[in-house]
Amino acid sequence: MFMTSSHLSKNQGKKQVYYRLKNYSKGIKVIRFLTKHSYPSTHQIGLELGDGIALPQNRVLTIMNHLKENDYCEEYSKVFSDEHSCQHCKKSFHYLLKRESLDFALEENQRRINRGNEFVSKEGHVLDRIITMICDDCFKVQEPLDVEFKIKKRKNDFYKYWSLSNNGLFVALSLLRGKSLEKFILSNQDNTTFQLLKLLLSSQNKNYVDNLISELKHTIYLYPDLGETVKRWNKQMNVILSKSKFDKKRYPELVEYVDEIKQREFRLNMSRGRKGHF
C-alpha cells in the first residue's frame, strides 16, 4: 500500500512505478499510532514500534522520513516563552510549529536583518507574527502576536514531533474500520471532506463513505498523492446530493449542506452568464 517516490522506475519515459515502502508494516503501525496520538515525539514513536523498547534512532527516522517524503506525515519543532501562555487553555508556554514554518521564519528574520528592519528576533528565537503555532497542551492554533519565542534546542532528532499530513489523513482513512473509523472522522472535523463524511454516516449513507475508501485504496497502489481522488469524490458527491432529497427534521445539517451546494452552483452559473453576456 505505501510506496515511495524516491524509487521511481529508471525508464522515466514510461509510466512511473512506485515500489513498496521499506519497513512496510512499521509504516502502517506509525500511521495508526498517529490517528490516536497528537504530535508524538520520535522517541514515543520508537517505543511504540519497538513494543516498549525504543528502536534505534536512525531506524525510526528512516521510517518517518519515508512517510514525510510521501506526504503522509508532517514534522514539527517546539518553541516556548516564559511570558506568553496559550490564548485558549491559559496553561501551556510551549508550542508546536511545522518544521517548514520554522525554517521560513528563520529565513524571514534574516531577510529583515539584511534590510535593516527593526522588527527582528534574537538568535535562536522567532517571532509569532510570521509563524503559525499550535499549543502543546490543548493543540489549538494561536492568533499571531508580535511576541518572541525561543526555539527549543534538541540534543538529538528524537525530539522531533509528528502528525498526519492532510494526505496522511486519507491514508489513515483507508486503514481504519468500524468504531475506530467513526471516531477518526469525528476527531478531524477541521477538514471539510471529513465534515461531509460525518454527515453521510449520520444520515445512513455509509455506502458513499465506503466508496471513497475503496477509491483511496486503489489510488494509493498507483500514486502516494490522494488529493485528486478526494477532489473527484467530492465533486461526485456534490452532484449526487444536489439531486437528492432528505428529511429536514431528521437530517438538518445534511439539508443545510445540500442547500449550500445549490447556492454555490447558482452563483457560479450567474457568474458564467454575466461573462457570456459581456
Better pLDDT: 13 or 197:
197
Q: Tens digits of per-residue pLDDT, 78-103? A: 999 888 899 999 999 999 999 998 88
Nearest to 71 by CA among 8, 163, 157: 163
- C-alpha grid cell for residue 147? 511576541
Between helix 206-222 and helix 166-173 the angle, nearest 10°, is: 110
Asked which of 108, 142, 164 is the last residue of a domain, the reply is: 164
Q: Are residues 82 and 114 in the same domain?
A: yes
Chain segment 28-47, per-residue pLDDT in tens: 999 999 999 999 999 899 99
In the numeric block, the cell 509528528 is attached to 162
3-state DSSP assignment of residue 154: coil
Same domain, 146 and 135: yes
Shared-domain flag, residues 160 and 183? no
Averaged pLDDT score across all residues of the chain: 85
Number of domains in the chain: 2
Which residue, 99, 92, 129, is CA-closest to 112? Answer: 129
Does residue 149 share a domain with residue 171? no
Residues 78 and 196 in one domain: no
- Please identify, among 94, 129, 164, the residue that sits at the C-terminal boundary of a domain: 164
What confidence score (pLDDT) does residue 273 get? Answer: 65
The per-residue pLDDT for 17 is 40
Asked which of 2-6, 157-161, 180-184, 256-260 is least confident by mean pLDDT, the reply is 2-6
Residue reference for cell 519543532: 77
164, 195, 212: which is the final residue of a domain? 164
Q: Are residues 7 and 115 in the same domain?
A: yes
**Within this chain, do residues 150 and 205 fall inside the same structural domain, yes or no?**
no
Residues 49 and 181 grouped into a single domain: no
- Domain carrying residue 10: 3-164
Mean pLDDT, rounded, for 184-193: 95
- Give yes or no: residues 34 and 86 share one domain: yes
pLDDT of residue 147: 84
Grid cell of 187 as nine digits:
476527531
**Could you tell me if 3 and 224 are in contact, meaning their C-beta atoms sit under 8 angstroms apart?**
yes
137 with 77, same domain: the answer is: yes
Instruction: Map grid coordinates 522531533 to a residue.
Output: 160
pLDDT at 8: 37
Most confident of 101-115, 171-185, 217-231: 171-185
78-82, 165-169, 197-201: the lowest-pLDDT one:
78-82
In this structure, are 10 and 60 located in the same domain?
yes
Q: How many whole angstroms separate alpha carbon 88 and alpha carbon 55?
A: 36
Q: Is the domain of 14 the same as that of 132?
A: yes
More reliable by pLDDT, 45 or 6: 45
CA distance 39 to 162: 5
pLDDT tens-digit series, residues 132-165 = 899 999 999 998 888 888 988 766 666 799 999 9
